[in-house]
């Protein structure tokens, strides 16, 4: 087994298995948590689709690097959401079972800032396009 695999499978005393923590929750809370998880995944897939489309389907901007830059930022955001989604679901499930407050997440901030950056960049590229059109 690889070093990474060993580290992933090592028992974590600070994190006992989910089923051993707290009480079995009201199944409706679990299902709401599951739907939130799925909504994040769909957000990730939508960003991925946007990234693919902007690289492969959208016509060229006046700025040559525009499409790859927008596409890479979108797909990196998509990857971040997808890669952290299980951990988020797991921490919330744990909190629900323990009856504690839901853990904080920085993801809404990260996604908000990332999308704002994409939009500012897109606006800049469109403005360059428009300026060249009139020039």
- 48/42 Cα distance (integer angstroms): 10
35 near other proteins, judged by CB under 8 A: yes
Contact segment (CB under 8 A) with other proteins among 3-11, 67-75, 111-119, 120-128 equals: 67-75
Task: Decide: is 5 part of the binding site for other proteins (CB under 8 A).
Answer: no
Q: Which of 50, 95, 96, 43 is nearest to 70 (CA)?
A: 50
Torsion of the alpha carbons at 113, 49, 84 and 65, rounded to the nearest 10: -50
Q: How far apart are CA 51 and CA 68, in angstroms?
A: 9
Q: CB of 73: closest distance to other proteins in angstroms?
A: 11
Q: Please pick, from the candidates 62, 63, 82, 121, the single residue that binds other proteins as defined by CB under 8 A.
A: 82
For residue 20, give every residue at least 6 positions away whose Cβ sits within 8 Å of its Cβ, in sequence order, or none: none
- Least distance to other proteins from the beta carbon of 40, Å? 9
Among 86, 98, 116, 120, binds other proteins (CB under 8 A): 86
- Which member of 7, 8, 14, 56 binds other proteins (CB under 8 A)? 56
Judge contact between 44 and 81, C-beta under 8 A. yes
- What is the DSSP code (8-state) at residue 15? S
Q: Which residues bind to other proteins, rule: CB under 8 A? A: 18-19, 24, 27-28, 30-32, 34-35, 37-39, 41-42, 44-46, 48-49, 51-53, 55-57, 68, 71-72, 75-76, 78-79, 82-83, 85-86, 89, 93
């Amino acid at each position: 087994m690889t070093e990474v695999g060993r580290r992933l499978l090592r028992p974590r005393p600070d994190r006992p298995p989910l089923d051993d923590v707290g009480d079995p929750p009201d199944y409706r809370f679990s299902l709401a948590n599951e739907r939130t998880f799925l909504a994040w995944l769909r957000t990730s897939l939508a960003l991925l689709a946007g990234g693919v489309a902007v690289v492969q389907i959208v016509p060229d901007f006046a700025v040559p690097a525009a499409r790859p830059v927008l596409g890479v930022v979108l797909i990196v955001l998509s990857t971040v959401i997808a890669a952290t989604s299980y951990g988020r679901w797991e921490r919330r499930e744990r909190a629900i079972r323990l009856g504690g407050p839901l853990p904080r997440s920085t993801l809404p901030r990260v996604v908000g800032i990332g999308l704002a950056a994409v939009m500012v960049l897109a606006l800049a590229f469109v403005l360059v396009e428009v300026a060249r059109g009139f020039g």
